[in-house]
Amino acid sequence: MVYNHGYFQCLVEKYSSLSLSSCHGNKITPGFGGIYTVIQTKAKITVDEWGENYIMMGPYYEHNFKTQVEKCEPPNQAIKAAMDSLINNGCQVHFGRWLIEGSPYVILFDIGAAAWNLDRWKGDLWNACSIGLPYHDREANDSLIFGSLVAWFFKELTDQLQDKPNVIAHFHEWQAGTGLVLSRSRKIPLATVFTTHATLLGRYLCAGNADFYNNLDKFNIDQEAGERQIYHRYCLERAAVHCAHVFTTVSQITAVEANHMLHRQPDVVTPNGLNVRKFSAMHEFQNLHSMNKAKIQEFVRGHFYGHLDFNLEKTLFFFIAGRYEFSNKGADLFLESLSRLNYLLRVHKSDVTVVVFFIMPAKTNNFNVESLKGQAVRKQLWDTAQSVKEKFGKRLYESLLRGEIPDMSKILDRDDFTIMKRAIYATQRHSFPPVTTHNMLDDSTDPILSNIRRIGLFNGRNDRVKIVFHPEFLSSTSPLLPMDYEEFVRGCHLGVFPSYYEPWGYTPGECTVMGIPSVTTNLSGFGCFMEEHVSDPSEYGIYIVDRRFRSADESCSQLTQFMFSFCQQSRRQRIIQRNRTERLSDLLDWRYLGRFYMHARHLALSRSFPGKFKMDHLNLAPTQGFRYPRPASVPPSPSASLHSTPHHSDEEDDDTYDEEEEAERDRQNIKAPFTLGAEPEGKSKQPLENGN
């Protein structure tokens, strides 16, 4: 069943990269959020599939258009005519190629230039679905202007095309959903798909520390939305969900949430993917880990000067990164687990030290003076060592040229010893290394700092767990930690993301494709996906904390045990685990996961144009998924019970492990994630599926 050249597929997404302040090309940057990453990374495979028939839509921002878009003329006369119709009526519409991988076409609508229509369009929305928008909600008003322009454009476009070819419009999130509602109410002949990456009310409820998943069926949805003054937004989201021919979410856990919050079961689950680039040499990503780990070690040498009484070769780097949502992202659980991990490492007299980085943006006014001083002291010490080394080398060289064994007591003079002593004294410190790298504006009320004070992890000499809170996203131009996010992730040993509310979770996925083990939960879409497709995720470096069926204390203990077991691994065991983790990247490649979006589009066509497109005539194999078995070299005992202290030495060898053999076995276990087939029998028709 091939539709590749039979219709346009227009992807409408409010938070396209063009509404952001900057673009980092193909690099992974946590500040942009999951929706941005979905739209950007999926563009390549979609352009490969549809070519010039694939067009993105979004709002116009002048600066971003100039720096990220190559302006050009539309390749299709129908699109040009539809744009001209809007332009002739006082709207501003721009067309070009978005300069990312795949170079998709984009149509951008200037919201500000069309704002004079707002009152009239509010009336149209009320007449269409009885939803009113308050004047003070700028975001909702902008979404209405954008949606009205999109619906207007689709009306002009379909009039030009005259049903040849057909048009599919894919809308992401409630901000873009207004265009879907208006298009359907005006009976514009479109096949529509609506994707929610997280329900609007779900975000609000979890941010308020509600016991969300245990009370999904008990919430009074209308009352909860009204109390939070988002009832009009909730109505827009729910209207878009029920008007769409096909409704999708990004994970099974979000599908359960959407069924209760929005009262419609998603038709297709569309997991989020990444563009995975494999190295030609299998060991190359291990080399990148070693190189970037050395950069982090340099930062640690400066930050902990005067207290550097731990062995950096036996130091592990853990991190958590993302938006500063203290409870939703699991920072509360993580901090409590770190306190318990610190206790376990001290009780067992472990020689392993854990340095934990919190990469979460917060309000600051500048770098911490003590942190800057630490890097300056480290650099000064390095320069002193290089100077002395140069003198030492020169005198040693001259002595050997004369055929003499140098007298080591005379090869350095008194001045050299004085310089070295001064350097040593300069590294003395009478205070603990700072737990934060910046001056916080809300130091006394900041959730992370408040909990650090509560658990007492102040980077003392006796603490085996050290904390570094870096309250802004990473940059290679930083004077403290000059690394991009991707470099930093590759240099760490473990990413910890014990989220309570995480519809998908790109951060552990990004760790996986870079071969870095990570901790996630069964309340995140990523965690559920891995549980479904990997028989023993922990042996592949994916540790899944149970936050759905256990109490908070039990979840905390489980996370502590995961981290403690990881600390007990030898260097060789960590290398083997990173190899296994990196092999899971095939699971997250858009080349596989893009098929779920294909299925949603085909299903939308069969529902909106049943006379032209059918899906029930195919006789294909039933749905199949990936399934990675337990690695053959892993003993059958539970991973948590492996390696009681003291752990195995780094010199041990595991005769049962063969990297090439195990990798080939895993490659053979990769199956197509699903097969296009008929709709399940007995499936009830969705709202408006027979009309246009």
In this prediction, residue 24 carries a pLDDT of: 31
In this prediction, residue 143 carries a pLDDT of: 96
In this prediction, residue 651 carries a pLDDT of: 46
**Within this chain, do residues 361 and 418 fall inside the same structural domain, yes or no?**
no
**What is the pairing mode between strands 54-59 and 7-13?**
parallel
Is the residue at 611 inside a domain? no
Q: How many separate domains does the chain show? A: 3
Is the residue at 470 inside a domain? yes
Residue 407's domain spans which residues? Answer: 369-430
Q: Supply the CATH number for residue 52's domain.
A: 3.40.50.2000
**Within this chain, do residues 104 and 205 fall inside the same structural domain, yes or no?**
yes
Residue that is last in its domain, among 522, 554, 587? 587
Taking only the tens place, the pLDDT of each residue in 195-242 is 999 999 999 999 888 889 999 999 999 999 999 999 999 999 999 999
**Within this chain, do residues 46 and 146 fall inside the same structural domain, yes or no?**
yes
Taking only the tens place, the pLDDT of each residue in 326-351 is 999 999 999 999 999 999 999 999 99
Is the residue at 415 inside a domain? yes
Rounded CA gap, 233 and 143, in Å? 10
pLDDT band of 648, cuts 50, 70, 90: very low
Is the residue at 2 inside a domain? no
**Within this chain, do residues 483 and 500 fall inside the same structural domain, yes or no?**
yes
Residue that is last in its domain, among 548, 563, 587? 587
Of the candidate ranges 34-43, 345-354, 682-691, the one whose mean pLDDT is the lowest: 682-691
Radius of gyration of the CA atoms of the chain, in A: 28
Taking only the tens place, the pLDDT of each residue in 354-386 is 999 999 999 999 999 999 999 999 998 898 888
The burial of 407, by beta-carbon neighbours within 10 Å (0-12 exposed, 13-18 middle, 19 or more buried), is given as exposed
In this prediction, residue 321 carries a pLDDT of: 96
Taking only the tens place, the pLDDT of each residue in 75-90 is 999 999 999 999 999 9
Is the residue at 392 inside a domain? yes
Closest by CA to 355, choosing from 460, 267, 272, 464, is 464
Res. 647: pLDDT tops 50: no
**Residue 289 tokens, joined:** 């880990």
Assign 582 to helix, strand or coil: helix
**Within this chain, do residues 321 and 390 fall inside the same structural domain, yes or no?**
no
Is the residue at 612 inside a domain? no
Taking only the tens place, the pLDDT of each residue in 536-548 is 899 999 999 999 9
Strands (E), 481-609: 494-496, 518-521, 542-545
378: alpha, beta or left? (left if phi > 0; alpha if psi -120 to 50) = alpha
Taking only the tens place, the pLDDT of each residue in 458-478 is 999 999 999 999 999 999 999
Residue that is last in its domain, among 207, 242, 269? 269
Rounded CA gap, 573 and 648, in Å? 9
In this prediction, residue 164 carries a pLDDT of: 80
**Residue 212: CB atoms within 10 Å:** 20
pLDDT band of 628, cuts 50, 70, 90: low
For residue 487, which phi and psi values (nearest 5 degrees)?
-65, -40
Q: Sign of the C-alpha dihedral, residues 101, 103, 107, 112?
A: positive
Is the residue at 484 inside a domain? yes
Res. 388: pLDDT tops 70: yes
* Mean pLDDT over the full length of the chain: 86
Assign 203 to helix, strand or coil: helix
**Within this chain, do residues 175 and 50 fall inside the same structural domain, yes or no?**
yes
**Within this chain, do residues 165 and 238 fall inside the same structural domain, yes or no?**
yes
In this prediction, residue 634 carries a pLDDT of: 58
Is the residue at 625 inside a domain? no
**Residue 658 tokens, joined:** 């063969």
Of the candidate ranges 256-265, 404-413, 598-607, the one whose mean pLDDT is the lowest: 404-413
Dump the DSSP string for 46-89: HHHHHGGGEEEEEE--HHHHHHHEEE---SSHHHHHHHHHHHHT
Is pTM, for the whole model, over 0.75? yes
In this prediction, residue 643 carries a pLDDT of: 41
In this prediction, residue 642 carries a pLDDT of: 40
Res. 23: pLDDT tops 90: no
pLDDT band of 118, cuts 50, 70, 90: very high
Stretch 568-583: mean pLDDT: 94
Rounded CA gap, 315 and 318, in Å? 10
**Within this chain, do residues 133 and 38 fall inside the same structural domain, yes or no?**
yes
**Within this chain, do residues 101 and 236 fall inside the same structural domain, yes or no?**
yes
pLDDT band of 324, cuts 50, 70, 90: very high
CA dihedral 200, 203, 205, 206 (to 10 degrees): 160
Spatial contact of 221 and 230, defined as CB atoms under 8 Å apart? no
Spatial contact of 240 and 178, defined as CB atoms under 8 Å apart? yes
Stretch 2-28: mean pLDDT: 38
**Within this chain, do residues 202 and 303 fall inside the same structural domain, yes or no?**
no
**Within this chain, do residues 442 and 306 fall inside the same structural domain, yes or no?**
yes
Of the candidate ranges 12-26, 71-85, 379-393, the one whose mean pLDDT is the lowest: 12-26
Rounded CA gap, 341 and 565, in Å? 10
Stretch 664-689: mean pLDDT: 47
Stretch 306-335: mean pLDDT: 95
**Within this chain, do residues 113 and 189 fall inside the same structural domain, yes or no?**
yes
**Residue 349 tokens, joined:** 């007299």
Stretch 648-671: mean pLDDT: 60
